[in-house]
A and B are shown apart, each in its own frame.
Chain A
């Protein structure tokens, strides 16, 4: 019995993760709380700390493995020598119980008492004996009946021992409730029942569930496309697996695109004034540890707009035929990282100053790029902002991030001649695009929202006038 380090609950609702890096190796001496592996979950990476210290006896996983909460990652060597292994372990456990929390202590009590352990020991000893006998049997196998009968007698105790059949004794972590006929159908169709959430009572899986899953599954696998041709016919190709971030994004944007009837609204704002404002105040913000950017200013403007246009700060529930209006303003900021798109959330953006927002956005973008976002950092957003201005382009149509209902796209500002007071003047013009869910938001609201954003950028006093 050696100490084991298991996959902890990484964050709420996240049960599986892919191992991106193993930070230790066999034979290493590690301390408690030292990071041992780094994992990638749907939206973040995290380092997993050791729950105990010691010398690493075995690493049970390798990079790229998918692990679940509770899986053993590492087995630690015991301190004592082998003959005392059991006792060592026992005393270790006792230490743990006295030191650790009560829950641990309760668990300990539920474990089989020492009597049963002894039984186990004697059982394994018996097994060894039997194996020995078995060897003899093998050698004797072709001998005559007499020898076989002797064996019979040797085996008398075994015959009466109840042993459950392997196939029925599978102790799967998840109970699957499906009738024998449905289980057979699943095998015929190559469907894993554990992946299906049954529509019947208590999650019972019906024949219909299996068929629908099969159809849905094959649709999903082809993403609605025709079968892919063999591209290598035309030149060299490289097949690379999608990482978790890409897989999640793909799944989410497809779902958004399929379920949300999008409308796209464009607008242009003269941000010459905003640029001056940024120039004038950027040092102050830098002192505070942030970077004053157009994104930060627009986050503030959008936060204000969401109060004015509450349907943009809502979700739609078609099952209940109602809209859910949110009384808080959390805004997602899209951040491009090496591994793909991440959208961390700025909480209560309406209650924060532009300076605070600048600092927070800088910090969270950094966190995203370093893949240190927690699940909390990415939950609970109401509206998203995607700024591609730093890269370029005149306009784009971002996809609404379900279950939100709108997203603002920012492109690159360019200097354009604007006709003002009888003459052309060079002004900095920012292209904006707004995508929204037409189920909840009408064209008039969309245009109104865009107008207000433009006005707020050009003349905030007027915008705030009402």
Chain B
């Protein structure tokens, strides 16, 4: 039966939030116990999310670029895809990284418990290991970092055979001939792109009138010019699904008409929900809000002094880098650092499609809503030497700048490596930089980063390589 043991700090969930909190807390001299069902830290991000999907997207990009090169005089044959090898490589990437985290955890003397935790009291919880055995432990403080999981659709039960969720898609068991992706958000587009590159005819069904609801339309337009999908159904709902021997019959209900289509597989990627259920929160005396999130203050503290929450369960955006930041902050709060608090001005977001889309800070829509006095400057990559020399002339860099103070308030980039360009804008916003700071910083030539500098130049009139007609 259970043996009891009072821990200084327990962290439930070893995703990017949980392990960042654990490592930093340990570095600050706190004795940490980290609980997660996986063998090693990493969470969804490393096992079933960011990392494996980016490994596969890298392959997709490599293939696309190689094929593209034929236009410029280097012709490759249609590549042969060894799916087992691809899956193996992806597994190796995941294994290397998660094992690395396991070593980092060990090196910090973190007690790692494999299992699922559930609260049984204000300072008590029960851990069930993978064999179903339970043990009790008590703790002084706890950080809840249980992340989120994919949500399904009412009439579309995920059977993990013909109807997939993102995890199934990343397992790469097969390359279906025809795949329907339900959901035109970032997960749907990224995974859809992977399968399109692998040779699948991918169709997208999206409820709203466009890709990536809520995202800057200028960015989406750039993506649309190069999207790899066979069919795209907007304002369309999946009405009925029939699983046959061969595949899946789907009736798609659009604004005007309903059509029946056959697919081999259906991938459901309609969103994620915070994992705040089955945690025994009631025993703690706290509850999630109507969206399932836990409410926390800027120290990431729940209404209980000793209970903290970080990552996806504290609210949108559900992003790994937000969780890691919260994790480190919370570790500092627990270590008694007075100035530690969560107060980011921006949380950058990236869609790793080809082209990549990335943005941070104020969006044009928000600027309108809040009636902000901003000037929006857009620098088309067709005016960038580097972009043209790598065949990326559809890209776009844009900045939102306060007209009065000239301070950078938001930015967005679409095109190759947009995700690597956005942090400069994020830093500029966090630092309270002005357009002149960006335009007066010498940017290396020839790089895509010059598009940020030249966007800032546009604020003052003309940029070197672009003059608005």
Contact = CB atoms under 8 A, between A and B. Distances in A.
Contact of A156 (B154, B287, B342): B154
Contacts of B5: none
A113 B151 CA distance: 34
15 contacts: A131-B290, A134-B289, A141-B277, A154-B154, A156-B152, A156-B271, A158-B291, A165-B317, A165-B347, A166-B315, A168-B344, A177-B432, A180-B343, A185-B339, A204-B407
A159 B271 contact: yes
Nearest to A204: B432
Interface string A145-165: 100110111111011111111
Nearest to B157: A153
B431 interface: yes
Nearest to B436: A201
A152 B292 CA distance: 11
B87 interface: no
Contacts of A168: 344-347
Contact of B339 (A155, A158, A160, A184): A184
B93 interface: no
A153 B153 contact: yes
Nearest to A198: B432
B405 A203 contact: yes
B406 to A, nearest CB: 6
Given A138-B287, A159-B151, A179 B430 contact: yes
Nearest to A206: B432
A200 B277 contact: no
A137 B151 contact: no
Q: Is the interface of B mostly helix, strand, loop or mixed?
A: loop
B280 interface: yes
Interface string A115-133: 0000000000001001101
Given A159-B272, A162-B213, A177-B405, A167 B154 contact: no
A289 to B, nearest CB: 50
Closest 6 CB pairs of A and B: A177-B432, A159-B271, A188-B339, A160-B271, A202-B405, A184-B339
A95 to B, nearest CB: 24
A177 B405 CA distance: 10
B412 to A, nearest CB: 16
B432 A162 contact: no
Contacts of B292: 137, 155, 158
Contact of B273 (A152, A164, A166, A204): A152
Contacts of A204: 407, 431-432
B271 A179 contact: no
B341 interface: yes
B93 to A, nearest CB: 27
B437 A155 contact: no
Interface string B259-300: 000000000001111000110111000011111100100100
Contacts of A175: 402, 405, 407
A187 interface: yes
Contacts of A158: 271, 273, 291-292
A110 B315 CA distance: 31
B85 interface: no
Contacts of B346: 168
B273 A155 contact: yes
A159 B214 contact: no
A160 B213 contact: yes
Given A163-B291, A183-B343, A153 B154 contact: yes
B316 interface: yes
B302 interface: no
A162 B343 contact: no
Interface residues of A, number: 48
Given A148-B278, A158-B273, A175-B407, 17 more contacts: A131-B290, A134-B288, A152-B273, A153-B152, A154-B154, A156-B153, A156-B270, A159-B273, A160-B270, A175-B405, A177-B407, A179-B431, A180-B343, A180-B430, A188-B338, A202-B406, A203-B405
A148 B152 CA distance: 12
A202 B345 contact: no
A161 B277 CA distance: 19
A202 B434 contact: yes
B195 to A, nearest CB: 21
B353 interface: no
B184 to A, nearest CB: 10
Given A137-B277, A152-B152, A130 B347 contact: no
Q: Which of A127, A202, A204 has the most CB of B within 10 A?
A: A202
A46 B272 CA distance: 55
A171 interface: yes
A178 B437 CA distance: 14
A319 interface: no
A348 B272 CA distance: 73
A81 B406 CA distance: 48
Interface string A285-299: 000000000000000
A165 B291 contact: no
Contacts of B15: none
A142 interface: yes
Contact of A153 (B151, B213, B280, B402): B151
B151 A156 contact: yes
A163 B272 CA distance: 12
Interface in A10-46: none
A200 B432 contact: yes
Nearest to A177: B432
Nearest to A180: B430
B235 to A, nearest CB: 15
Contacts of B273: 152, 155, 158-159
Interface in A93-117: 110
A141 B316 contact: no
B246 interface: no
B437 A201 contact: yes
Contacts of A186: 339
A154 B152 CA distance: 9
Point out which of A151, A171, A177, A178 has the most chain B C-beta atoms below 10 A from its C-beta.
A177
Interface string A402-429: 0000000000000000000000000000
B151 A163 contact: no
A138 to B, nearest CB: 6
A141 B278 contact: yes
Contacts of A145: 278
Contacts of A177: 405, 407, 432
Interface in B318-346: 322, 338-346
A178 B430 CA distance: 7
B370 interface: yes
A162 B214 contact: yes
Nearest to A151: B277
B371 interface: yes
A167 B405 contact: no
A149 B341 CA distance: 35
B114 interface: no
B183 to A, nearest CB: 7
